[in-house]
Structure 1
Amino acid sequence: MSVYSVAHIIHLFCAIVFVGGVFFETLVLSAIHSKDVPREARKAVEKAIMRRAVRVMPWVVGGVFLSGLTMAHRYAAAFAAPFAAPFNTQLCLKVLLAFGVLAHFLIAVTKMRRGTLTAAWSKYIHLAVFCQMVMIVLLAKTMFYVAW
């Protein structure tokens, strides 16, 4: 098995975990913010999930980015000429979105450590990352099939 193959498998597993986590937090966990869930219960659930996420997600994000960088050498020509072909453009857009996700992730981690992550910031970051992840997943598939 080649280094690229191993990196690709690691990339897929890390992406599944990250996208699944973002999907869960954005679309499922947001339901605990209803009037039906007592404030104390909501705080306890959020605290438990955040404790786990803070331990796991940095490794997942690191894995997805390191494996992505490992695979990137195969596409050096595409990065060198981003508008030469639809595949190149979609790949470059996918990478730009991934760095947007990384930026939002780093903002969230920094704000958490400083104690300045408000509910509004958290909601914005989750929604922004969710939208970026949807686009990344679409581009990851369409770049092999869609041309213009």
Structure 2
Amino acid sequence: MSYLLLKFVHLTAAAFFIGGVFFEVMILSRSARQLAPASREQLSNVLGTRARSVMRWVIPVLYGAGLGLAWQYRAVLHNPLASSLGTMMALKIGLAVSILVQFICVVYLMRTGRMTASRSRRLHLSVLLHMLGILFLAKAMFLLSW
């Protein structure tokens, strides 16, 4: 797969993932507070089911394409502290791994029935902040140097 196609696939999957989390954190969670508890629960169940079915393919595509892109920079990543590009790329990968771990935690908490509204809000906000960090680093990697 060409680098351009790999980058397009990665950016498209990232847009889907970030857009979904942004919608949940900034729009849905605030709007759902205005609904009656039964309606809120029903909306949460319906949207949660749909989000899980979409994320089942978005996440593997996002991370698979990300690995393919990182492979292109394996020489830089061999010693990430030797250059600003390598350092920022390593930080970006670290944030991406953290998001994946948090996503796995969400799946675990949901399957064990231990997910609470408070945990869900904190995890979603954390993932959103991590993604903003990744977006900044993705742009900064090729614009900043030291």
Q: TM-score, normalised by structure 2?
A: 0.95
- 1:14 corresponds in structure 2 to 13
1:38 Cα shift?
1.1
Please give the alpha-carbon distance, in whole angstroms, between the structure 1 residues aligned to 2:66 and 2:94.
12
CA RMSD of aligned residues (A): 1.2
> Deviation of residue 6 (structure 1)?
2.0
SS in 2 for 1:105: helix
Letter aligned with residue 90 of structure 1: M
Q: What does the per-residue CA deviation read over 1:64-91, in whole Å, with 9 as the maximum and x for residues that have no partner?
A: 0001111222101111111111111000
> Does the CA-based 8 Å contact 1:86-1:146 persist in structure 2?
yes
In 2, Cα distance between the equivalents of 1:116 and 1:63?
A: 28
| Residue of structure 2 aligned with 1:100, choices 98, 101, 125 | 98
Shift of 1:3: 2.9
Shift of 1:11: 0.4
User: Which residue does the alignment assign to 1:140?
Assistant: 138
% identical equivalent positions: 36
> TM-score when scaled to structure 1?
0.93
For 2:53, the equivalent position in structure 1 comes to 55
1:15 alignment partner AA: A
Query: How far apart in 2 are the matches of 1:11 and 1:22?
Result: 16
Contact conserved, 1:32 with 1:42, CA < 8 A, in 2?
no
User: How many residue pairs align between the two structures?
Assistant: 146
Shift of 1:33: 4.4
Q: Which runs of 4+ in 1 moved over 4 A?
A: none
**Residue ranges of structure 1 left out of the alignment (5+ in a row):** none
Distance of 1:87 and 1:40 partners within structure 2: 50
Please show how residues 1-148 of structure 1 align to structure 2 within 5 Å.
Answer: 2-34=1-33, 36-148=34-146
